[in-house]
Structure formats: C-alpha cells, structure tokens
Structure 1
Amino acid sequence: MSPFDAARYARLLKGLEAIERPASDVFSRERMDSEAFAKAALELSARLAKLPRVDAVSQVAAVSDGNHLSIANEFGEAEGGVRYLRGQDINGAMMLDDRNPVFIPESEYDKLARSHIFRDDVLITIVGANTGQTALVDAAPEKLTANCKLGILRAKRGVIAPAYLHAFLAGRYGQSQVLSAKRGGGQMGLILPDLKALAIARFSEKFEARVAYVSILAHQTNRERQAHFGGVEAVLLTALGLGAWRAPESLSYVRQSSEAFSAARLDAEHFQEKFYSARQALLDAGAKRFVPLPELLIALTNGHTPLRHDLNVGDVPFLCAEHVTDFNMSYESDKRILLEHHHGELARTALRDGDVLFTIKGRVGNAAIAERVPGPVNINQDVGLLRFTDELPLWYIVAYLNCQFGKLQSEKMATGAINPFLGLFSIRQFEVPEFDRGVMEDIARRTQRFVSKTREASQRATQLLDAAKRAVEIAIEDSEAAALAYLDRVAPRVH
C-alpha cells in the first residue's frame, strides 16, 4: 500500500470503532459478529480477567429456563391459577411487574417442575429486545413459574448470596457480558450455555454480604413503593364505594343498530356488557353526569418522529409510550431530537408542567401528569398530550383514567387486537364522571399524596440498587476497601 493509499485508508477509518483480535479468540467464541467484540465490552472483560477470583454463573448457581411446552388455557383467571411470568414481566424495576399478570391452571404447573420459581431466585430475560433485564424474587407466592423467555438462576447455598448475584448481573459488568453474548438475527437472545458462562466477580464474604444487604434493602423499599401504589389505585374506588365492583363477562348481548352507527363501530368488542355496567355503577355511586372530554380540554394532540432523524442525536429527550406508566413518567430517555425539532415542527407537543401524557399505542390508557419538567422534553406518536381546563380537579381526572373504570373506557375505544391503538378521535369520545365537588377534590388530594409517597420510595429503591451495583464496580476497578467506604457514605447500615 502506497503512503497515499495508507493516508486515504486512515481517513476513511477515522471515527470508526475498530479493534484487532487474534483469530483464535474469534474461533473460540464461535462468533464473528461485531457485537461479540465491542471495544467497551472487551475492556470490561479484561478487567474482570485480572481479578484474583472470577466464577462462571454455572459454578455459583443452578441454571434453567421457563416452559417450552404449549400450555392449554394459558391465560386464565387469578382465582385458582398459578402466576405465569413472561419476558415483559421483568422490566428492570427490581421486582416482578404486576400490572398485567397471567395465570395457568394448577394442573399445568405440576407438569413444569424444571421451571418452578422460588424465593431468592434470580430471573433474567433471555429472549427479545429486553434481553438482560433482571429481577430478584425477594417475595413470591407459594407457586410461580415462567415461559421460555426467562432464565432462572438458583444460587447455590453457601456459595454466593442471591442478592449479590443479582446486583452483579444488573450492573455494568454483568450487562456488558449479556450484550456481547446475545445471538440471533430477527430475534436476539441469550442461549443457556452462554448464560452459564457469564463471569461473576468474587470478593470476600464480608464485601459480598454488604452488597447483598444494600440490594435487599432496595427491594424492601421497592415493596413499600408497591404498597403505596396499591393505595393510589384504591383511592377513587374506595371513595366511591366501588372497591368490590367487578366487570361482568357476558357471553352475549343485544345492542340497537343506532348505537353502532353513532359509534361508527361494528366490532362486538366495543359493545360488551361490562362497559355499560361500569357506566351504571358510576351513576349508582352518585355521578351527576358524564362530561365529554373535549369540554375539559384546552388541547389534545400527539407527537411524531422527525423524518430521517437519527434518534441517537440531539439534546431533547424524546418520550415514548414506554416512558409513561400510571401516574408516573420518566424523563430518562435514550432517544433524542434536536432543539430545532422541539421549537419547530414539534412545538405543539413541547412538554410543560401540568400536561397529561396518555399512552395511545400498545399498552394504552396509562396517564401521568408532567411535574418539574427538567427542560426541553417532547413526545413521539405513541403518546397523546392533553392540556386540561380547571373545570374538574386534574388529579381526580388522572385518578379516574388510571382506575379500572377509566381502563375499561380505554379498552372500549381502542382498535386493534394484537397491538391496541387509541386514535385522537377515539380519545375525544371519552367521558369523565362528575361527582360532588368535595368528593372529587378529596380524591384528587389523596391521590396526589399517595403518588408522592410512591415516587419517594421508588427513588430511594433505585438509589440503593444503584449503590450496590456501583460498589461492585469500585471493588473491581479499585479495591474492596474503597467500595465499602463508598457504601458507608451512600447507604449506611440501618440498625
């Protein structure tokens, strides 16, 4: 290669992440894809290799995965059934996501001994876009199982603390290995041999116990969050005397043709008896009238994704449906847009305090109020933005939208079976029940108080788990003594 060609070649490669690896390394991994040899992951792996002791997952835990069989009547009722976990039930929140549980008959559970799950098991998603999400089963029902999208790690007694194992896998060194080990084209995942081969940094029993203690404290705090959240959900129903109300599941029902024409819908799902029963229950509880949503709105719109824009580039957080849950939204988004988008074509969805975000695609019907917006923030097409007048208390409206009666309204108005969608036209058909002003203000006040407690507990739980993960990193990169000193500062023992 001439000096001219070499210089030109160097210019072409400038800015690219390129590394050299021995052929033996490539062949030993049986991989040739770039993900398996990412520079950052290799650097972290090299640090692990220098530690005095590193164990493979298979040395410290028994490893299996969930059920691979076809289960009849998989999605049953909770009563008399066994909780059946799926990949989406592990979402990085430390514990199991209980918002949309499914169950299987107990007779099916008895056939699945290898995928039974118990307290102190560590779960990890091994199939799909969220591969690597982890959870520690710190409290579990008597019977629990999962499908094949979850790996089940059962720490060997006396060998490693389950909470330490979880903290390591959830941290940077664990997640980096998962990212490198993922395989597949259309459906990425982690095969069990690769899961068993993941390296776990080992330290003194004292240090690992200290990390486990902080991790367990994080889970206990997160359980407090769940308790507060249960209080949030119960506020409106308790205040209206509807806590025991259950939606009927009628097999048949008759509707007038005029109803179908006025609704511009012909699908039977839209006219189910439970929707009419819910409306009557609210009237019986004292609803004066049902206020059409447009009467309460200043604005209703949704965002869009700027054409041909790389969402890794920009200074403005770009929120999607995944960032909005009942009563809460996260401003921490990896997706970004430019300020010129925010002030230009997306100016109408520039988020401000008091706006309500409402998920309109996928898991539809989650509502949250924007509070203390940290700066320029915007939304994509899967999220609706609602700006309300002060005719009804805002926290009351959001409490209604997130309760089972509001969720039924979202279900009624949604279209699409596999991937539900709520168009802005459908949202304009929503109605909000109006009760005595004092009742609505009391619901609003108590809902806001419970949400505040929930957020405080959630923040503390996240801080504690982050501290446990960071302590492992410090021990790897510096020393156990430095890591223990760090934990003494940020997460002192509670006596």
Structure 2
Amino acid sequence: MNSPFDKRKYKRLLEGLEASEVLISKCLQQNDFRLESSFWIQQNIVQLKTMKGMDIIDFVQYGTSKELNEEKEGYPILRLNEFNSRFIDIPNKYCKLISKDEYESLKLKQGDVLICRTNGNPNLVGRSALVLENTEYAYASYLFKIRPKTEIINSSTLVAFLSCKYGRNEIDKYSMTSNQTNFSPAKFKEIDIPIFNKSFNSKIEGLYFTAHKHLGKAVSFYHHAENLLLEAIGLKDFTPNNANVNVKTFKKSFGSTGRLDAEYYQEKYEDYEKLVKKYINGYEPLGVACEIKDNNFSPENEIEYQYIELADIGKSGNITGCTTAQGKDLPSRARRKVNANDVIVSTIEGSLSSCALVPHNYDDALCSTGFYVINSLKINSETLLVLIKSEPLQNLLKQGCSGTILTAISNTEFSNIPIPLIDASIQRQIADLINKSFVLRKESENLLEEAKAMVEREIEGLDSSEVKNG
C-alpha cells in the first residue's frame, strides 16, 4: 500500500544534513550548469542586499604570461609571492618580452585590487591584495586586477570581504577545479557581494590605511637592520665581478667540488665567499655555527597540527599564516617540527629568500621538508634571519643549488656555506630592530583582522540602516 507524501516529515529529515534540494530549472539557469553538491550547499549571503561581481566592476584585466627572469631585465612583474598580507610588495622578477605599451596597460594603479586566479593550492585561489599607490609594476597572468566602482564599494572593503569567511564561501562556490583550481574574472562576475553604506566603507578604508602605515614602518625597521648587517660585513662599497667566464683547472674544479655546471664557477660567487671569509670577527661553516634540525617527525593521525608551507612565508621573514589540520590530513612533506626562535630556510632555487623566524605562537608547528630548520648559540635568531636573506648568503645559497627537475641546495652544500660570526653588539642592535619590525607587523595584521571581523558582523547582523538603499 502506497503511503501519501508527507512534505513536513521530508523537510524535517533534511534538517541538520549537509544537503540542499534544488530544482533542475535552477541548475539550468547557471552558465556552467553546476551539478556538484558543494556548489549548492555553500553558505549564501541572504541577510542583506547584494550585487553580482559584474555590477561592481569598473575595469578588469589579466596579467602577462610571458617568461620572467631574475636578472632584472625588462619590467618588474608582481606575482603571488609578493602579496604582503593584504597589500603588495616589491617584485623579485622581471619581463623583457612585453612591449612598452603592454607594460603601461598592466601598470598597477592606486585602488586596484589584485586577485589570484589559479593555483595548485585551492586556499590560495581568490587571495586578494590592495594597491594603495601608483606603481611601476605589471603583474603575472595567474593574477587579474579589478577596479571596483567606488560609488558602490571601495577597494579596501572589497578586499576585506574577499578575505572574510563569506567572501571565501563565494570564491569556493564559483571556483572550478581540475588539475588546478581556477577562479577567473568570469567567475568573479558571478559571486554575490554585499553592499554597505558609505560610512561603513570609510571605516574599513581607515583601518586598511592605518594597517598599511604600520606595515611600512615595519619594513623600514627591517631594512635598517639589513643595512646595519651589510655595513658590518663590508658590503656597502662592494661590487662583485659579474664576468660570465672563469678558467679553472680540473683539480680546482670537478676534482675538488664534483661540480661540472658552469654556473657554479662564476667569479661573483668567489667574490661573495671571500667577502664573508675576511670578516674581522671570523666565520664558520653553517653546519658548525648552527644546528641543522633535519630529523623527520611523524605526525599522529588524530592530533591537530599547525603546518607551515612555502606560500606562508612573508617577504620580511615573517610567517603570514598556516594550515591547521589533523595529522592524517597533512601532506607527506609535513615532516619537520619547528620551535620558537628557529629560522626556516627554503631549499628550492627561486624561493631561497623565503626564510622566516618562527614566533612563539608557532612553537611545535610542522613545516615542509622543503625547508631547512636551523638555530644557533653563536648568532641570535634575528641576526641569523637577516644574514640568510642578505645578498652574499643568497648568492652562495644559489651557487650551491643543483638538480634537473627540481633545483635545490643539498644538505652538504648548505652545511658548508660560510657564515660570518657577527659582533655581539651588532647582533643586539639587529635583534632590537627586527623585534620592533615584527611588533608593527603584528599591529598591522590585527587591524586587518578587525576589518575582516567587522565585515562578517555586518553580514551576520546588519541593521537595515547600514544597507545601501536601491
């Protein structure tokens, strides 16, 4: 005997489930005919007036896909690596293959918002950064820039929204995933963006401007520490020999180093090594001056860990964030345990400057095996950080890299890098400057978190007077 359909009972059964009932006609209204469940169960913004991304854009543009170089040839090209918190930093790579006209069209201007379009890590897709002043930088093709209609939403508020959990929901909902996750300008145009009144926009903008000011002071303190170190080791008036030819006997080349690659024997590397070794206070191989913590750690399946990877390293030696997950969900490369005041150093050529000082809130965190973890009783952690990121050490690290598919520096080469034993008084000054830099950077991050929390609170419990009418 067939029982009649009980609609109320059916709805009760659905309550509490991560499920959603959707009419096929609604699916057909989507441009891409989205059928995956995650698209329909993502949390939507329903508490206030919203507009589609296409309605708040004044301008949108992809970056350049031309080959980049590290020799500073051509025009500076900003990448995701140079996103500094919610702002942009100075590019490390250049492009000599784009025309002057193309460069001019790609130059970042005040009020632009840069968004990561595609990445192998889904958490990085949709990450945004605010441009607060006119620059001389273009940007890479896996980013796109937009200029919002400021009469609807200003750039600061847009970045704050994209960074909050509701913005993240919209990005995840409309992203497309195959080998890599993609959030294109076309998908940005489909997301729902809440509309706030001018007063609220101004408050968020004020927080972003103050955060950027603190960040600028933090960078200034770091540069002061860097200059103090470079002057101490004699780099102030130093110019390496950039000749691309060097003649060596077999005994002084392969016979002693085991290396046949011509890059290894460039004279500039010899000049940097001599500079370090003639430091008045002496030097030691890194493996002698420092402890290299290279033992692997096996995370327990049900224990939650903080995991630091390459994308979490800021340009000034700070850790910008981490992934929190149980051991069973961590990648196989999450095998190095770090402690407060350790310094982590990327092993990969092209990312050797991705070094960071581990703060107390990351004590006992895990990092990727793509890092070396070091500390020293002879050099304080702040000075060690600045040393590793300095011009002489970065060049010596690059010289030590080898490999084909993935070029990296081996443990042996890393251990043999000469480290100057910086005078104790200079070390104390550097430590003071770096600590001041980190305090200001933390204040900047707190302001950005406050802006994000404000946006979330407005979305969750917005008074009707806060919603832009019309």
Q: How does 1:69-108 map to 2 (within 5 A)?
A: 70=66, 74-75=68-69, 78=72, 81-90=74-83, 93-98=85-90, 101-105=92-96, 108=99
| 1:435-466 Cα distance to aligned partner (Å, 9 max, x none) | xxxx6213311221121111111111111111
Could you list the per-position Cα deviations for residues 407-462 of structure 1 after superposition, in whole angstroms to 9, with x for gaps in the alignment? 1121111223664322222222222124xxxx621331122112111111111111
Please tell me the residue identity of whatever aligns with 2:419: V
Which AA in structure 1 matches 2:366?
Answer: N
User: In 1, Cα distance between the equivalents of 2:78 and 2:367?
Assistant: 30
User: Which position in structure 2 is the counterpart of 1:377?
Assistant: 365
Cα gap change, 1:196 to 1:321, in 2 (>3 Å): closer
Once residues 450 and 482 of structure 1 are traced to their aligned partners in structure 2, the CA distance between those partners, rounded to angstroms, is 46
CA distance in 2, matches of 1:375, 1:21: 46
Q: Which amino acid aligns with 1:233?
A: E
Deviation at 1:269, TM superposition (A): 1.7
Q: Deviations over 1:106-126 (max 9, x none)?
A: 971313555332111111111
Separation in structure 1 between the aligned mates of residue 19 and residue 114 of structure 2, nearest angstrom: 34
User: What amino acid is aligned across from residue 370 of structure 2 in structure 1?
Assistant: D
2:144 aligns to what? 151
**Mapped contact 1:301–1:385 kept (Cα < 8 A):** yes
Helix, strand or coil: the match of 1:291?
strand
| SS of residue paired to 2:306 | strand
Q: Percent identity?
A: 18
CA gap 1:132/1:18 in 2 versus in 1, 3 angstroms: same
Do 2:234 and 2:275's aligned partners in 1 also have CA atoms closer than 8 Å? no
Map Cα deviations across residues 52-72 of structure 1 (whole Å, 9 max, x no partner).
x3222222222322245647x
Matching residue of 1:140: 134
Question: Which string of whole-angstrom CA distances, capped at 9 and with x for unpartnered residues, describes residues 339-367 of structure 1?
Answer: xxxxxx97xx5433443333223623544
Find out whether 1:316 has 2:308 as its counterpart.
no
Q: 1:320 offset after TM fit, Å?
A: 3.3
CA distance in 1, matches of 2:246, 2:309: 37
Note the aligned Cα RMSD (angstroms): 3.5
Does residue 459 (structure 1) correspond to residue 455 (structure 2)? The answer is no
1:241-295 CA-to-partner distances (Å, cap 9, x unmatched) read 41343444322111232232222221112222111011233356x4454412333
Asked whether 1:232 is paired with 2:222, we answer no
Query: Residue by residue, what CA displacement relative to the aligned partner does 1:287-333 show, whole Å, maximum 9, x if unpaired?
Result: 45441233324554143666xx87xx522323334445554346743
Work out which of the residue numbers 36, 39, 46 in structure 2 matches 1:37: 39
- Choose from 451, 456, 459 the match for 1:473: 456
Secondary structure of the corresponding residue to residue 34 of structure 2? coil
TM-score, length basis structure 2: 0.82
Look up the SS of the partner of 1:139 in the other structure.
coil
Structure 2, gaps ≥5 residues long: 3-13, 329-333
What pairs with 1:87-486 in structure 2 (closer than 5 Å)?
Answer: 87-90=80-83, 93-98=85-90, 101-105=92-96, 108-112=99-103, 114-128=105-119, 129=121, 130-141=124-135, 143-258=136-251, 259-283=253-277, 286-287=279-280, 289-303=282-296, 314-324=303-313, 327-329=317-319, 332-337=322-327, 350-361=337-348, 363-364=351-352, 366-372=354-360, 376-388=364-376, 390-393=377-380, 395-416=382-403, 419-434=406-421, 440-480=423-463
The CA distance in 2 between the partners of 1:251 and 1:226, in whole Å, is 34
Query: Hey, what does 1:24 align to over in structure 2?
Result: 25
Aligned counterpart, 2:331: none
* Larger helix fraction of residues: 1
Task: Tell me what 2:5 maps to.
Answer: none
Asked if residue 49 in structure 1 is aligned to residue 33 in structure 2, the reply is: no
Q: Return the alpha-carbon distance in structure 1 between the equivalents of residues 151 and 325 of structure 2.
A: 43
User: Which residue type is aligned with residue 437 of structure 2?
Assistant: T
Q: Does the C-alpha gap of structure 1 residues 369 and 193 become closer, same or farther in structure 2, counting only changes over 3 Å? A: closer
Residue 404 of structure 1: how far off its partner (Å): 1.0
- Tell me, in whole angstroms, the C-alpha distance in 2 between the residues paired with 1:106 and 1:69: 10
Distance verdict in 2 for CA 1:374–1:83, change over 3 Å:
closer
CA contact (8 A) 1:300 1:424 kept: no
Cα distance in structure 1, aligned partners of 2:47 and 2:192: 12
Partner SS state of residue 453, structure 2: helix
Q: Distance in 2 between matches of 1:17 and 1:248?
A: 64
Give the residue type in structure 2 aligned to 1:407. Answer: Q
8 Å CA contact retained: 1:131, 1:190: yes
- Tell me how far apart the structure 1 counterparts of residues 340 and 128 of structure 2 sit (CA, whole Å): 33
Q: Distance in 2 between matches of 1:441 and 1:295?
A: 18
Distance 2:340 2:141 in 1: 42
Q: 1:175 to 1:392 in 2, by over 3 A?
A: closer
Q: 1:136, CA displacement in angstroms? A: 0.6
Aligned partner letter, 1:269: E
| Equivalent-residue separation in structure 2 for 1:195 and 1:368 (angstroms) | 33
